[in-house]
Chains A and B, each alone.
Chain A
Amino acid sequence: MLKNFIYICMGAGLLACSSVTTIHTSAERVEVNSVYDHENRIDSIVQPYKKDLEKEMLEVIAHADHDFTKGRPNGTLNNWATDALLDNQLRTSKGQRQVMSLLNVGGLRNPISKGDVTVGDIFKLMPFDNNVVWVEMPIEVLPEIEAYLRKRGGEPVGMVKIEKGKIRFLDPISNSKTFWIITSDYLMNGGDNMSFFEKKVSFENDGVLLRDVFLEEVKMQKVLRYNNEERITFE
């Protein structure tokens, strides 16, 4: 039979001289769960990494005198995060620019609780590897951003006040045709439906992680700066 097969294949000059042809298939999705709990050599490979990581994640880098929580329109975590971002980014001057910071409530993934603040807490707050970006926006887009913020019921902002829904820069530069939003690349690229970023004039991305910025600021502050001002009002 096999001889016969090879003979026919060669004789016919077929491209694929397979010994098997028709294929029957069946499929299933197998869930990885506690059914498969069993001490094995994977655990022993992971263990040193895990121990090391836990040590790093448990390192206390600051103290919080209050709970920092997110909220709409305002939250103490909102204020902390947008201010930390500004402090960090304005330390190295980018020239005379009209600036505000903007993050999203959804992106602040975990509150900071009163007490010790660990590296792990900041990883929980910002688990994503989003980069910090500076986005140059035409001043005419402000009403669109105001409408967005009103619709959302507020998002974390810094260097601005939003009074009855209107954005007011704390440090206004007259006759500026554009302004800069310091935010994350995730939001700039349309995350959380911030489609107004499509109207950007330019942007700068230095490849700095938002989480690293937070870590840096937490370490510098030692005691986290608590600010419960009501930055946003709509009525």
Chain B
Amino acid sequence: MMERRDFLRNTVVVSAGVLVAPSLFAKGTSNSENHLTILHTNDTHSNIDPFPENHSRYPGKGGVARRFELINKIRAEEENVLLLDAGDIFQGTPYFNRYGGVLEMRLMSELGYDAATMGNHDFDAGIDGFVKARQYAKFPFLCSNYDFTNTAIDGHTDDTFIVQKGNIKVGIFGVGVELKGLVPDDKYKETVYIDPIDIANDRARDLKKQGCDLIICLSHLGYEYGSDKVSDRVFAQKTRNIHLIIGGHTHTFLEKPTEEKNLDGETVLVNQVGWAGINVGRIDFQFEKKAFAKKDVLIVE
């Protein structure tokens, strides 16, 4: 576990070299109202129990009850915590085959998830199956580039979500992967996939206009591809105003977030933490109070 003290010390060291007078900065850090901890998962795939001890790759790893303990421990240490998921909650164990995703939704609500987006496997119970399980979720599903107008999901997802954490106003939205070829047609029915880049730019601009200090995109596009298929890395480079992309789909185990430059040359963080609930990603943001608003600067330690 990372100690908060280490984090702060690192922050000061870096900021002294790069940014502003340390004395000014030190005042900011004493205020937990300017500190935000993002916790995130992706591709948990119905893994409720830990992997068995004789599992060939991840013996004894994961488990929702343990994730609950881990999250609660961090919540006890940090004032402002957001818990997010980047999709593919469904499919992977008999829990899903038998209960259609209801248990997954109940548990995520119990863990206090603030928002999630839909992955391709979240269509595996069909449109109606998702809606049925969705009733047990006490958090919004953020989907900006699926048009659900002619489906039963219409009205069960949100475009954007704004939440105030201490002094920090956070804006969140979500984008999903193209479903054709990935999901049988009869599962997603008349859901229309829309290219995520234009939509993301619109949403992020709207969130910025509404005064959000931090803009997060939950993405199930996938981390990167050998082809020109849009991935989180490509998406980060072709958009503006997004600070953090929490990704999924490719089950990529990143040690730490990747830094990309967006259309305005600003830093965007892209993260993904594997699958099956083996890991929880943690990203801490320390905001600095300033006399007046300038362009946001993201400093990564």
- A residues bordering B, Cβ < 8 Å? 1, 4-5, 8-9, 12, 14-38, 40-43, 45-46, 49-50, 52-53, 56-57, 120, 123, 129, 131, 185, 189, 205, 207
Contacts and interface: CB of A to CB of B under 8 A. Distances in A.
Nearest to A189: B181
Interface centre among A38, A57, A120 (most CB of B within 10 A): A38
A129 B95 CA distance: 13
Contact of A33 (B49, B60, B94, B106): B60
Contact of A207 (B64, B65, B184): B184
Contact of B34 (A14, A20, A185): A20
B277 interface: yes
B94 A23 contact: no
B297 A29 contact: no
A5 B291 contact: yes
Interface centre among A19, A24, A41, A42 (most CB of B within 10 A): A24
Given A32-B67, A205-B184, A24 B211 contact: no
A97 to B, nearest CB: 23
Contacts of B292: 4-5, 8-9, 12
A31 to B, nearest CB: 6
A23 B296 contact: yes
Interface of B: 1-2, 7, 10-11, 14-15, 19-20, 34, 48-50, 60-70, 73, 91, 94-95, 97-99, 103, 106-107, 110-111, 124, 167-169, 181, 184, 186, 208-209, 211-214, 243, 253-257, 269, 271, 273, 277-301
B61 A27 contact: no
Given A31-B278, A31-B279, A25 B287 contact: no
Given A31-B61, A32-B280, A42 B110 contact: yes
A121 B109 CA distance: 32
B284 A32 contact: no
